[in-house]
Structure 1
Amino acid sequence: MLFHVQMDVNLPSDLPADVAGEIKAREKVYSQALQKSGKWRHIWRLVGEYANYSIFDVESNAELHDILTGLPLFPYMKISVTPLCRHPSSIRDDDV
């Protein structure tokens, strides 16, 4: 199942820099492992924002929920999820 996910991050201004840095480092390791597994297919930064658009390829809504709530930055995120399906005009075979 493919999902478009928008993640907007809002770290508190009073969060110590070392704590924020440690959370971001764990987030990078976690997200890159998911990308290597194929679950997190694409990630794009939104210019001028602390936000991203991502495409996930997972087995179920529950799996996506578990992945998203496992993000170290999850407590500081507003997340919007949109299910996707293959467009009949797509020429890509991997858009399942």
Structure 2
Amino acid sequence: MLFHVAMEVRLPPDMPAEQANDIKAREKAFAQEVQRSGKWPHLWRVAGRYANISIFDVADTDELHGILSSLPLFPYMDIKVTALAKHPSAL
């Protein structure tokens, strides 16, 4: 199943820089691991915001939830998920 996922990160302004840098490094490593698995085929930054638009290709909503909730930045994210279906006019 394909899902469009919009993620916006909101780290607390008083989070120590060392902690923020650590969580960002862990996030990058985990995200790249999921991308290499083929389950996160598209990842785009939203210009001017600490946000991204992603496409996930997973078995079901439970698998998607498992991946998203495993992201190190998950506690600091606003996430919107939209299930996708093939459009009848698509090639």
TM-score range, shorter chain: over 0.9
Tell me the TM-score normalized by structure 2: 0.97
Match of 2:49 in 1: 49
Match of 2:80 in 1: 80
Match of 1:94 in 2: none
Q: Secondary structure at the match of 2:87?
A: coil
Number of residue pairs matched by the alignment = 91
Alignment of 1:12-31 (within 5 A): 12-31=12-31
Match of 1:69 in 2: 69
Q: Which runs of 5+ in 1 are unaligned?
A: 92-96
- In the alignment, the residues of structure 1 paired with residue 46 and residue 77 of structure 2 have an alpha-carbon distance, to the nearest angstrom, of 14
Q: Which runs of 5+ in 2 are unaligned?
A: none
- In the alignment, the residues of structure 2 paired with residue 53 and residue 67 of structure 1 have an alpha-carbon distance, to the nearest angstrom, of 15
CA RMSD in angstroms, aligned pairs only? 0.6
Measured against aligned partners, the alpha-carbon deviations of 1:6-54 in whole angstroms (never above 9, x if no partner) come to 0000000100001000000000010001111110010111110000000
Residue identity (%): 62
Q: Secondary structure at the match of 1:40?
A: coil
Q: Which runs of 4+ in 1 moved over 6 A?
A: none
- In the alignment, the residues of structure 1 paired with residue 57 and residue 46 of structure 2 have an alpha-carbon distance, to the nearest angstrom, of 21
